Amino acid sequence: MEIEKNKYIIPIEVRAMTEEDYDQVYCLWKGIRGFGIRSMDDSREGVSRFLRRNPDTSIVAEAEGEIVGAVLCGHDGRRGCFYHVCVREDYRQRGIGKAMAVSAMRALQKEQINKVCLIAFKKNEVGNSFWKSVGWTFRDDLNYYDFVLNDDNITTFQ
């Protein structure tokens, strides 16, 4: 895929995320306003564990040697789930988020997963607007519950 930035055409590579991408992905997360990062789950060890369990489904978008978008995507054998979907602000509204989501969904389909879900914070207006615009259905027929198993896994917001 290619995008126009500052009147130049820039190639964008959408590919599977690897453990070697962690530093750039973490830096991307830290630069997203309102982004929640968990102390354990989003650590190098936590993301590596996730990628080993889901080696082909998480996606990054790379432009000019820099990661400008990422989606953690995994499944439990029945349903896929997107986590931490983001595109760097200066690369938004160019189809990168949608291209990453489609790539992750195709990877899930190859693993015979037929449904994917995601969670977006209510205050995440940009994210909620994006998901609605690309055809995702907002569910108001269920409640989402959490049970914390480790109080040391603290979320901080950027």
Residue 109: which of 60, 59, 57 has the closest Cα?
A: 57
Query: Residue 123's pLDDT is what?
Result: 82
Q: Which residues of the chain have pLDDT under 70?
A: 2-8
Query: Residue 6's pLDDT is what?
Result: 62
Cα 44–40–37 angle (5° rounding)? 85
List strand residue ranges (DSSP E) for 88-143, in order. Answer: 116-118
pTM recorded for the entire structure: 0.86
Query: Residue 105's pLDDT is what?
Result: 96
The answer to whether 59 and 103 have CB atoms below 8 angstroms apart is: yes
pLDDT digits (tens, 9 = 90+) for 66-82: 999 999 999 999 999 99
44-53 and 22-30 helices, crossing angle to 10°: 120
Q: Which two tokens stand for residue 80?
A: 């896929």
Instruction: Label the pairing between strands 36-38 and 8-16.
Output: unpaired
